[in-house]
Amino acid sequence: MKKSILLGSAILAGLALNSCQGVGTDVIAPSSIKLVNESDSVSYGLGMNIGADLTRNLKTVPGNVNMDALIAGLVQTLKGDSANYKLEESEVQEMLQTYFQKAAEEERMKAQLKNEEYLSANKKNPGVIVTASGLQYKVITEGTGAKPKADDVVKVHYTGKLIDGTVFDSSVQRGQPAEFPVGQVIPGWTEALQLMSVGSKYELTIPSNLAYGERPAGPIPANSILIFEVELLDIVKK
């Protein structure tokens, strides 16, 4: 399990801060390490690389991590000191899997409640229209051109944000409109584009189930409501 590997290994990043504090191991203080040959330097460099990578990964572990316990677990494993393990090896993977699944479910429930509150408040804003699917949109500019169908290719300008205002993507910032088939984007986009006439600009508030759902997508966390300002520039292929 990826998470359990990260949890067990991420301790390397904390050795420098904790090895002198006494955790029941014989870890050598980093300040006393001497690099006298190539093997020493390679070993130290390897530790730096692993530590930097795993420090980033440790930030994804939910809850509070007891660094002393973390260090003790790794050091005993590296030393092959299985006789003194404080947990049964056969139980560790199941325990960690249960922990991460529970944490993920708690995060999902919190996100769901937050999303429901946001959507409930947003639909009361002036000009916001809610469709049967739950898509919310507001007309900024109503165009007079044709409306695309699901099998059309459209040219659009857009800016996408999370509900905290974080911009995760913007063709406007890139200075280059995007072209794509209407039917091959997230459901919220497919629905909204078919409501728009060429020349229109809409603000879309897309519930997570009409976006990426429980799947994170790059800078977009799982269960995210997405807010887009979309301008339909043209239908480039019918």
Q: Which residues are catalytic?
A: 158, 168-169, 186, 212, 228
212-217 contact pairs (CB < 8 A, 24+):
212/186, 214/108
> What are 52's two structure tokens?
């930097």
**185 burial via Cβ count (<10 Å: 0-12, 13-18, 19+):** middle
Rounded Cα distance, 122 and 68, in Å? 46
Q: What is the C-alpha to C-alpha distance for residues 223 and 214, in angstroms, rounded to an integer?
A: 5
Query: How many other C-beta atoms are found inside a 10 Å radius of the C-beta of residue 175?
Result: 8
CB neighbour burial string for 219-229, b if at least 16 within 10 angstroms, e if fewer: ebbebbbbbbb
The Cα–Cα gap between 24 and 169 comes to: 49
List phi, psi (to 5°) of 5: -65, -45
